[in-house]
Amino acid sequence: MTQNKPNNFNYPSHYADVFGSKMHYVETGEGDPILFLHGQPTWSYLWRNIMPHLEGQGRLIAVDLIGYGLSDKPDLDYEMSDHIKYIDKFIEQLGLKNITLVIHDWGSFFGFNYAMHHAENIRGVAFMEAILFPVPGYDSFDEQTHNFFKTLRSSQETAEHMMVDQNLFIEAVLPGLIVRELTEDEQNGYRQPWSDPDARKILCKFPQNLCIAGEPENINDIQQDYMTWLQESEIPKLLLHSDPGCLIPKAMADWCKDNLPNCDTVFVGDGLHYIQEDSPDKIGKTISNWLRRI
């Protein structure tokens, strides 16, 4: 069943048929595509305050991962290979060429992987709070994050209790990693796709697949491959980072500036992980200015 978008998300909805399921996306404008990829537990709604800054600079497309947002939730394992397959097919179905990727969280994992394998089809990559190197080990986390991942990955039953029964990612993790306080309408915008508890089972998958100490091995291999590629590729890159950040603190932003060719790094203000909610204007304007240069 097609759901209505929140009132504060005004871009027109479209649906692409991908492997027999509908993938929802919003689109506006024309020209070379600018493709926005979200992560966990968000959807295209994440980009609602950034897209206006890029209007007139291309065909803006923000897609919902399969199983997320207003996309269908088919009977899949929702492994990372499933998402890779669906995103690749979505891009093919829409005939997207000379793409600029704007990516965040697990959307960065899929975006970097796509760019590595289709470099000839990429104009540039803008990334923020992205999944770069695998996490060396649980000791890399602060105590709260360490306990969160250890507990969630201890058993499927525990994971589903946290994600399904407690709706922890929506009600605690998401707002807890934003500096400002979301309005009730904004929080409801993120709640909306997850109103059915059964649908929330797939929220276990991304945290279970975060590569920690080399596991899962297949995820480790993909990350190591695209990190090698990123250090070799001259494709224009833009890193937007915040203080203190989560996945990309200042030390990692400095590393990217020193080690990734043709990479601009721009500080966008105070923020944790979902920096689109804290600094949308700065992010949007920075991407807009960068696009005019590349």
Q: What is the structure's pLDDT at 122? A: 98
CA 206 to chain centre: 11
Classified as helix, coil or strand, 71 is coil
Active site residue 273: yes
Q: What percent of the chain has pLDDT over 90?
A: 96
Which helix (DSSP H) or strand (DSSP E) does residue 106 occupy? helix 106-117
Q: What is the structure's pLDDT at 6? A: 87
Mean pLDDT score across all residues of the chain: 96
Q: In the predicted model, is pLDDT for residue 14 greater than 60?
A: yes
Q: How many residues does the chain have?
A: 294
What is the per-residue pLDDT across 31-52, written as a single tens digit (0 to 9) for each? 999 999 999 999 999 999 999 9
Amino acid at 228: T
| Bond into 261 cis (ω within 30) | no
So what CATH class is 13-136+217-293? alpha beta
Q: In the predicted model, is pLDDT for residue 8 greater than 90?
A: no
Catalytic residue, candidates 24, 53, 273, 278: 273
Q: In the predicted model, is pLDDT for residue 17 greater than 90?
A: yes
Q: To the nearest 10°, report the CA torsion of 148, 239, 83, 177.
A: 30
Side-chain-facing half-sphere of 209: CA atoms under 13 Å: 24
Q: In the predicted model, is pLDDT for residue 2 greater than 80?
A: no
CB-based burial label for 77 (10 Å; 0-12, 13-18, 19+): exposed
Q: Where are the domains of the chain?
A: 13-136+217-293
Catalytic residue, candidates 105, 186, 264, 277: 105
Q: In the predicted model, is pLDDT for residue 215 greater than 70?
A: yes
Active site residue 232: no
Which helix (DSSP H) or strand (DSSP E) does residue 38 occupy? none
Active site residue 105: yes
What is the per-residue pLDDT across 123-141, written as a single tens digit (0 to 9) for each? 999 999 999 999 999 999 9
3 band by pLDDT with thresholds 50, 70 and 90: low
Catalytic residue, candidates 129, 186, 264, 277: 129
Q: What is the structure's pLDDT at 1? A: 42
Side-chain-facing half-sphere of 112: CA atoms under 13 Å: 27
Classified as helix, coil or strand, 17 is strand
Residue 264's alpha-carbon distances to 9, 130, 163, 268, 290, in angstroms, are 30, 15, 36, 13, 9
Average pLDDT over residues 222-238: 98
